Structure 1
Amino acid sequence: MKSVKLHFLGAAGTVTGSKFLLETDEGNILIDCGMFQGIKDLRLLNWQDFNFPPLEIDLVLLTHGHLDHSGYLPRLFKQGYKGPVKSTAPSLAVTSVILMDSAKIMEEDAEKANEEGYSIHEPPLPFYTVTEAEKTIEYFEAVEIDTWYKFSNNIGYRFLRNGHIIGATFIEFEITGKRIVFSGDIGREKDPLLPPPYKPQQADYLILESTYGDRLHPEENIEELLSGIVKDILEKRGILIIPSFAVERLQHIMYILWKLYEKNKIPNIPIFIDSPMGNDILGIFSSYPAWHRIDPGELRKMISHFNIITSYGDTWKTIDDNRPKIVVAGSGMVTGGRVLTYLRYYLEKPETYVILIGFQAEGTRGRQLQEGAAEIKIFGKYCKVNASIKHLQSLSAHADQQELLGWLKEIKNKPEKVFLVHGEPAASDFLRLKIKDTYSWPVHIPHLNETVELLL
């Protein structure tokens, strides 16, 4: 092996657009293939040609199915990639749901923007279509967990469980005796739905996420907060809206609300789950019981407790329903999906509560609400924010700083380099200092499209 180059094609200096390419004499492997989300300058990067010839990529591996790790796949195929996409079976199931759902939303948003004339693009186009998503899914190939696969004479790889969401992994490479580890997104140690992440034992080079590298998740009494809000909306005849990530956080908040009802801490208030993608993910939980902690019987009872909305017509019936209620709807950063319809109608009402769950990326409506915006733009029109906004960080699916440092502690050798990715600049730099002080390891924060040569 003469050389190995590592290209940082996304999630460098930002939390979105994860794409890392290993360029070797024996072939080229892309680890994750995510879309950029958030501020306009990042979103515009999605429309640029891929920064490495897609025809020269031999293999794509996905750590997990979130859009910022998989959402660029249809564009990669459109630009000429022709190889397989490999990950665990539940991750590929999640990716399939997310690609199809996002394609439908993109087509609907483009059509709506065209009809109402609020897009600056002429004509408004979806980033990819349903047909393109379907063609991409045809190339998916499932792998087994904790099993070494041979890519070439000197390169092998394996997937290990990582918490975060169902099916999520980190990926280890063995290249001429050196271990290269891509962390993906690392989950929580005490997630009620998922087992704790495995920990790497060796890493000569480590590509590590740093989403919450500068903070600890607070200890929050979520049950007390939610039961108090439910009491308040019952008195005021209001509504609690929870924008939720369809994968894991929606199932997590359903589990919390179900347990509150079981413990008689909240009454049998109508709870509507309005996320077609989230409903599909519930099906994945049912199909892969070995990947989560909920007993199959309890999972069925939990699902039957909620009003599952399947059509957009039922969304409007729910809005017209004047009873106090809870609505859990996608998307988690308020960037699209059904939750926008509810917020457009209810955000100006002071008897409304909105609970934000987990990380809100820069430039998203969720971040604007979190930071106290007086109004936000929905479907081309500004809506005043008179609702009460709460932000729960303890429900995040990402490890915090302490958990990230703990994830490293079983590595027995001293890495030649740690690369911090998937974090905003302040978070990455803070984690860099903590790793240096805790482990005395060399750490580098790469910039977008930087290429480094790994010494093997």
Structure 2
Amino acid sequence: MPATPTLTFLGAAGTVTGSKFHLEHGPASLLVEAGLYQGLAELRRRNWEPLPLDAAALDAVLLTHAHLDHCGYLPRLVADGFQREVVCSAETADLAAIVLRDSAHLQEEDARYANQAGFSKHRPALPLYGAAEVEKTLPLFRPTGFGSATQVAPGVHATLRPAGHILGSATVEIETGGRRVLFSGDLGRDDHPLLRAPAPPPAVDAIVVESTYGDRTHPPRDPDVLADVVRRTVARGGSVLVPAFAVDRTELVLLELHRLRVSGAIPRVPVYVDSPMALAALGVYRRAVQGSSPQLRREARELAAALAGLDLHGVADPEHSRDLNSPTYPCIVVSASGMATGGRVVHHLAHQLPDPRNSVVLTGYQAEGTRGRQLLEGARQVKMHGRYVPVHAEVVQLADLSVHADADGILAWLARAPEPPRTVYVVHGEARAAHALAARVHEELGWVAVVPQQGERVRLD
């Protein structure tokens, strides 16, 4: 039982996924984030390794938002004995239920398919968790409002503030023993098309900040990139496949397609959203627009127009999804997952990549070791379901659709703090990005900034 607050980095240290941070003070034990590792096989194997803590002794888990690399480990934590509250915003609770159910379904389906096809080296292939573990997890969620402190353990209080990344995303400030630490989660862009800019950081002793884009800046928005690839693909009779994160990215893709269609920049072709998770998330966003959520910009009302104005088709059942593996007419297919690590989009890629008439449009960050990263780096063949598929389709990246703050945006957000923290811990970025951001924090703000190691423990006094 540490007399001084301590923080241990159990994930997202030197890598861009798997966020987990263990905060201890006296008898209090908290986990901030419970994310899955994605990408490289050596990272994914960490999902199966037991955490160096007693899950049953945790007082609470706090989530910044509902993306899988921040909440996807929760059902495994529950299977290991966690039974207390999961504190997050109301929208994060709604979206996490969608994300976790989909995650369990995909894991069970992938394990079933691997055993049936015989391409897994595990005998039998097993999911990390299934639907039963998810249903035990969801009743633990405790939705919490923004801006007011809530007790999460004896003598420990947490305050959520909007982070502008996806609907419900938050920064999390924790106060214990007279010390305060702020977790950025994933920070959004000041010019997010739907969400308001992240709330500025308060005065704290330490900041744990993400660095996904810590070594680069986003290019200026250029709608011609998407318009051009759609026109080219339709002209040659192909289909446009857009791997997109089901939460937030799908909404932005549809919004951009609507704007291009209204302006006449692209022809009217069918648009399919082939992801039950994305369709469910669209419902959460639609309700937020209808309810005039204070997280949203006024322009967010255009999302409703986009959903009504496009030749839009939601695909929920597997049979109609299979029909989109090889479309016989020009169309646009938006399908999860965004980095092509799993889900229906993998089946679409397996069928569509060999055809040079088709295009694949990558819309966000592609982590090391993912199929999306391989395609982005020019791979001429990609392994899927135990066999290699040739890449003849056109591959295009839309870097300007990212909903992460870039290096300049993160620095600007940090600089809004009313006073310097003692230390900035740079996490949730590949090593090069994290070290580049830490260097800029030191050079431009004059603050102590470090990139912690996996498993490293620090004092917060």
TM-score by length of 1: 0.97
Separation in 1, partners of 2:185, 2:327: 42
C-alpha displacement of 1:224? 1.1
Give me the whole-angstrom Cα distance separating, in 2, the residues matched to 1:19 and 1:448.
Answer: 10
Structure 2 vs 1, CA of residues 226 and 47 (structure 1 numbering), >3 Å: closer, same or farther?
same
Contact 1:233 1:240 in 2 (8 A): yes
CA drift at 1:272? 1.1
**Counterpart in the other structure of 2:297:** 293
Asked if 2 retains the 8 angstrom alpha-carbon contact of 1:23 and 1:29, the reply is yes
**Matched residue, 1:259:** 259
Q: Shift of residue 270 of structure 1?
A: 1.3
Partner-residue secondary structure (3-state), 1:46: helix
Paired letter, 1:315: S
Which consecutive unaligned segments of at least 5 residues does structure 1 have?
none
Please tell me whether the aligned partners of residues 26 and 152 of structure 1 are also in contact (alpha carbons under 8 angstroms).
no
Look up the match of 1:271: 271
The residue identity in structure 2 corresponding to 1:224 is D
- Report how far residue 186 of structure 1 moved: 0.4
Cα separation, partners in 2 of 1:271 and 1:153, compared to 1, 3 Å: closer
Answering whether residue 367 of structure 2 is matched by residue 366 of structure 1, we say no
Tell me the distance in 2 between the aligned counterparts of 1:214 and 1:320. 38
Q: Distance in 2 between matches of 1:312 and 1:153?
A: 48
Give 1:303's aligned residue. 307
Q: Kindly indicate whether the alpha-carbon contact (under 8 Å) linking 2:107 and 2:129 is maintained by their aligned counterparts in 1.
A: yes
In the TM superposition, residue 303 of structure 1 has moved relative to its aligned partner by: 2.0
The answer to whether the 8 Å contact 2:167/2:248 transfers is yes
- Map of 1:384 onto structure 2: 390
Of 142-151 and 100-109, the range deviating more from structure 2:
142-151
Question: Does residue 425 of structure 1 match 2:431?
Answer: yes
Q: How far apart in 2 are the matches of 1:138 and 1:252?
A: 30
- Contact 1:286-1:296 within 8 A present in 2 as well: no
**Alignment check: 8 A CA contact 2:5 2:177 kept:** no
CA gap of 1:207–1:296, structure 2 versus 1, over 3 A, is closer
Following superposition, the deviation at residue 296 of structure 1 comes to 7.9
411, 415, 424: which one pairs with 2:421?
A: 415
Question: Scaled by the length of structure 2, what TM-score is found?
Answer: 0.96
CA gap 1:294/1:105 in 2 versus in 1, 3 angstroms: farther
CA contact (8 A) 1:350 1:388 kept: yes
Report deviation, 1:394: 1.4
Superposition deviation, residue 226 in structure 1: 1.9
Work out the CA distance in 1 between the residues paired with 2:399 and 2:327: 30
Is the contact made by 1:240 and 1:326 (CA closer than 8 Å) also made in structure 2? yes
CA distance in 2, matches of 1:425, 1:234: 40
Contact 2:5 2:179 (8 Å CA) reproduced: no
When structure 1 is superposed on structure 2, of 385-394 and 90-99 the one drifting more is 385-394
In the TM superposition, what are the counterparts of 1:7-406 in structure 2 within 5 Å?
Answer: 7-152=8-153, 154-221=155-222, 223-289=223-289, 290=293, 291-293=295-297, 298-304=302-308, 305=310, 306-406=312-412
> Partner amino acid for 1:149?
T
Secondary structure of 1:113's aligned partner = helix
Shift of residue 153, structure 1, vs aligned partner = 5.6
Change over 3 Å in CA distance of 1:86–1:385 after alignment to 2? same
Q: What is the CA RMSD across the aligned residues, in angstroms?
A: 1.5
Unaligned residue ranges in structure 2 (runs of 5+): none
| CA distance in structure 2 between the partners assigned to 1:64 and 1:414 by the alignment | 25
Separation in structure 1 between the aligned mates of residue 69 and residue 347 of structure 2, nearest angstrom: 23
Q: Please give the per-residue CA displacement for 1:65-111, whole angstroms capped at 9, x wherever unaligned.
A: 11100111011111111111110010011111000001001111111
* 1:231 alignment partner AA: R
User: Is this contact kept in 2: 1:156–1:173, CA < 8 A?
Assistant: yes
Other structure's SS at 1:359 match: coil
Q: 2:324, 2:348 within 8 Å by CA — same for their partners in 1?
A: no
Structure 1 stretches of 4+ with a deviation exceeding 6 A read: 294-297
Is the CA contact (8 Å cut-off) linking 2:374 and 2:382 kept in structure 1? yes
Identity over aligned pairs, percent: 38
Count of matched residue pairs: 454
Q: Deviations over 1:352-402 (max 9, x none)?
A: 111111110111000100111110011111100011111122111110000
Residue-by-residue CA offset, 1:206-250 (whole Å, 9 max, x unaligned): 1111111110011241x2122222221222101111100101111
Secondary structure at the counterpart of residue 96 of structure 1: helix
C-alpha distance 296-440 of structure 1, shift in aligned 2 (>3 A)? closer
Alpha-carbon distance, 1:439 to partner: 1.0
Cα offset, 1:150, TM superposition: 2.4
Counterpart in 2 of 1:452?
458
Deviation sequence 1:309-345 (CA, Å, 0-9, x none): 1111112223454111111111100001111111111
Question: What is the identity, as a one-letter code, of the residue corresponding to 1:253?
Answer: V
* 1:297 to partner: Cα distance: 6.4
Contact 1:329/1:339 (<8 A) preserved: yes
CA pair 403-219 structure 1, distance change in 2 beyond 3 A: same
SS in 1 for 2:324: helix
